[in-house]
Amino acid sequence: MLGRHEWAVTAKQPNLDGRVALVTGANSGLGFEVACGLATRGARLLLPVRNAERGKAALAALKARCPTALVEMLTLDLTSLQSVAACAAEVARLTNRLDILVNNAGIMAPAQRQETQDGFEVQFGTNHLGHFALTYHLRPLLEAAPGGGVVTTVASLAACKGSIHFDDLQFRHRYSAFGAYQQSKLANLLFARELARKAGEAGWNIHSRAAHPGWSSTSIIANGPASALPEALGKVERVLGSAVLRVMGQSAARGVEPLLYATLAPTARDGDYYGPQGTKERRGQPGPAHVPAAALKASTAERLWDVSERLTGLGW
C-alpha cells in the first residue's frame, strides 16, 4: 500500500506536456476522470466517442474542469472492427506517436444477450476484442513514443470470479449476463499481462499494465440488468445499486486513482495489476491488486491471444 505522502506526490506528477494520450469511454465515469487527470498534467487528449452529443457534453465538462486542456474528439464504435480500424487510422493522421492508451470503455451485464456488428457477444466483443484490435492498430504509434507507449487496460473485481469459456466464448448456448461480463473482464486482465510478456520477449517498445477501480459509482450500472426492467423497478434497482456503491465503495474520482497510478507512476511495473488497497479492494489508495488464479495461467493467456487474433483477423 502506498503511503499518503508517496501517493500525494504521484497524484501531481509527472508533467505530460507534449505527450499524447487516448482514452476510450471518456464521455463519463472513470474514462472522464482519467481524461481530466491526464489533461491537468498537460497531455494532449484524443477522445474517441460513439455518441457525438455525449462527446460534446463531455468536452464542455472537461473544458470547465481544465480550461487549458488540449482535446480532439474522434469517432469510435468498439462493437465494430471496421470502426476500430478507421479510428486508429484517424489517430495516425493526427499524430506520429501515442504515449498513453487507456483501454477503459465497457459494457456491463445487459439482461438479454446482444451481439456486436461482427457477431460477437457484446461484452466479450466490446470490452476485450474491441480493445485488442484497437491496441493492435495503434501499436506503431505506441512504439514511436520515446521510452515506449504505456497501455493501461481496465479490468474489474469481476475478473476474480471469471473464467474463459473457450467452448462457448460468445455465450450462444446459455447466456449469463454477469458470467459474460466476468469473462470479458478476465480477458482484459489476461490481455494486459500477455501483452507485457510478449512485448518483453519480442522487444516491442510498449509497456502494458492493468488496473481496476474497486467499487466505483459510475453510469455503467444504468446499462446493466436494471435497464431491462420495467421503468419503476429499474429505477429502484439503479438507485439501490448506486447507494451500495457509495456506502461500500467510492466515487469515480477516487476509483480512477489506480488507473492513473498504473499509467503514470514511476514505480508501476509492466504486467502488474493495480487497485484500491482497502477491504476486499473495494476502495482506498492505489497499490498492487490481487491477480486471480485464472489470470496466472500462461496457457490460458496464450490461447486467448491466439483466439483473439483469429476472431479479429489481426496477427501481431
Helix residue spans in 208-230 (DSSP H): none
Q: Which is more confidently placed, 222 or 132?
A: 132
**CB 49, CB 83: distance < 8 Å:** no
Q: Taking the domains of the chain in order of start, what are their residue ranges?
A: 20-312
Helices and strands, counts by H and E, the chain: 11, 10
Q: Which three cell numbers stand for residue 72?
A: 480532439
Query: pLDDT (tens digit, 9 = 90+) per residue, 274-298?
Result: 999 999 999 999 999 999 999 999 9
For residue 287, the cross-strand partners are 275
The confidence score (pLDDT) of residue 252 equals 79
pLDDT at position 230 over 80: no
Selecting among 136, 181, 261, 274, the annotated active-site residue is 181
Q: Which three cell numbers stand for residue 116?
A: 456486436
Helix residue spans in 12-112 (DSSP H): 29-40, 52-65, 81-94
Mean pLDDT of 123-152: 98
CATH of segment(s) 20-312: 3.40.50.720
The confidence score (pLDDT) of residue 5 equals 39
The confidence score (pLDDT) of residue 300 equals 98
- Among the ranges given (8-22, 55-69, 168-182), the one the predictor scored with the smallest mean pLDDT: 8-22
Query: How sure is the predictor about 181, in pLDDT bands with cuts at 50, 70 and 90?
Result: very high
Count of residues in the chain: 316
Query: pLDDT (tens digit, 9 = 90+) per residue, 77-128?
Result: 999 999 999 999 999 999 999 999 999 999 999 999 999 999 999 999 999 9
The single-letter DSSP state of residue 145 is S
**CB 107, CB 126: distance < 8 Å:** yes
pLDDT at position 140 over 50: yes
Mean pLDDT, the chain, rounded, equals: 89
Query: How sure is the predictor about 225, in pLDDT bands with cuts at 50, 70 and 90?
Result: low
Q: Identify whether 261 is a catalytic site residue.
A: no
Q: Which is more confidently placed, 237 or 314?
A: 314
Query: How sure is the predictor about 243, in pLDDT bands with cuts at 50, 70 and 90?
Result: very low
AA letter at 34: V
Query: How sure is the predictor about 224, in pLDDT bands with cuts at 50, 70 and 90?
Result: low
User: What are the E-state strand segments in 112-180?
Assistant: 149-154
The single-letter DSSP state of residue 43 is P
The confidence score (pLDDT) of residue 117 equals 98
pLDDT at position 34 over 70: yes
Query: How sure is the predictor about 271, in pLDDT bands with cuts at 50, 70 and 90?
Result: very high
pTM as predicted: 0.90
Q: Which three cell numbers stand for residue 125?
A: 466483443
Query: Residue 122 and residue 116: Cα distance in Å, rounded?
Result: 5
Mean pLDDT of 55-75: 95
Mean pLDDT of 242-261: 74
The confidence score (pLDDT) of residue 216 equals 81
- Would residue 147 be called left, alpha or beta, if left means φ above 0 and alpha means ψ between -120 and 50 degrees? left
Mean pLDDT of 45-71: 95
Write the DSSP string, 61-73. Answer: HHHHH-TT-EEEE
Distances (CA, A) of 221 to 20, 109, 244, 304: 30, 9, 11, 27
> 294 φ, ψ to 5°?
-65, -25
The confidence score (pLDDT) of residue 253 equals 83
